[in-house]
C-alpha cells in the first residue's frame, strides 16, 4: 500500500533540499517520480504546467508540474511516486485526493511544506495532512534571531523591513517580503 507522508519545517529548514534528495533516490531506482507544486509558489519563476524547482542548498534543478486544479491536472500525469512541494497551500479536498492516490494506486506520496503561518495558525493543507497522513516528520532548524539556539517553530514576516502585523496568512505579492524562522519566545515578542 502506498504511503502519505508529511515533512514539515520552518522556512530555511531544508524542506526542498530533502525533497530533491529523496526524489533523486526514487529517480535513480526508476520509480517514475514527479514533483508537483501549486501555481501560487512563484519563487523559481511563474509557471503553470511544467516548470522547474530547486533548492537554495543543492545546486541543481528538476522539472516540476505547477497545478491550479490538483485532481483534474494530476489525473493526466504518468507517475510512480509523487512529491508535493509547498503543501501548506493545498485544500482539505486536495489532501483527501492525495490520500486516495496513495491508497487506490498504491503510490507513495511525499508532501513537504510549512505547518503554521506567521500568525501561528495551522495552514489548511498542513492541518489536513496532520490528520490524514501515515507518517509525519519534522525537519528542524534553529531560531534566526542572533544569539538564540532554540528550535524554530514559527515565522515572522517583514514587509519593506517592518514586521507585518496585518494578520494575513500569505503575503506573496506585497512589496519587499522577507521572513525569519523563530522560536516561540521570539515569535511572541
Annotated catalytic sites, by residue?
A: 86
**If we measure between CA atoms, which residue out of 97, 43, 108, 105 comes closest to residue 72?**
97
Residues 22, 12: contact at Cβ < 8 Å?
A: no
All 3 cell numbers of residue 166? 496585518
CA 175 from chain center: how many Å? 22
Residue 169: exposed, middle, or buried by beta-carbon count in 10 A (0-12, 13-18, 19+)?
A: middle
Detail the DSSP E strand segments found in 39-183. 49-54, 61-67, 81-85, 108-113, 135-138, 154-159, 162-163, 177-182
Amino acid at each position: 500500500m502506498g504511503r502519505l507522508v508529511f515533512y514539515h519545517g520552518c522556512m530555511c529548514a531544508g524542506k526542498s533540499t530533502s525533497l530533491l534528495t529523496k526524489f533523486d533516490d526514487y529517480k535513480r531506482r526508476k520509480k517514475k517520480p514527479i514533483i508537483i507544486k501549486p501555481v501560487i509558489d512563484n519563487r523559481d519563476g511563474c509557471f503553470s504546467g511544467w516548470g522547474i524547482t530547486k533548492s537554495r542548498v543543492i545546486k541543481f534543478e528538476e522539472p516540476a508540474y505547477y497545478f491550479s486544479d490538483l485532481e483534474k491536472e494530476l489525473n493526466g500525469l504518468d507517475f510512480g511516486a509523487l512529491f508535493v512541494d509547498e503543501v501548506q497551500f493545498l485544500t482539505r479536498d486536495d489532501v483527501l485526493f492525495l490520500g486516495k492516490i496513495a491508497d487506490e494506486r498504491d503510490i507513495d506520496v511525499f508532501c513537504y511544506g510549512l505547518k503554521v503561518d506567521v500568525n501561528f495558525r495551522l495552514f489548511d493543507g498542513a492541518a489536513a495532512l496532520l490528520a490524514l497522513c501515515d507518517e509525519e516528520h519534522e525537519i528542524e532548524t534553529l531560531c534566526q534571531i542572533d544569539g538564540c539556539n532554540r528550535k524554530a517553530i514559527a515565522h515572522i514576516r517583514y514587509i519593506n523591513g517592518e514586521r507585518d502585523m496585518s494578520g494575513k496568512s500569505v503575503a506573496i505579492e506585497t512589496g519587499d517580503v522577507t521572513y525569519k524562522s523563530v522560536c516561540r519566545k521570539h515569535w511572541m515578542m
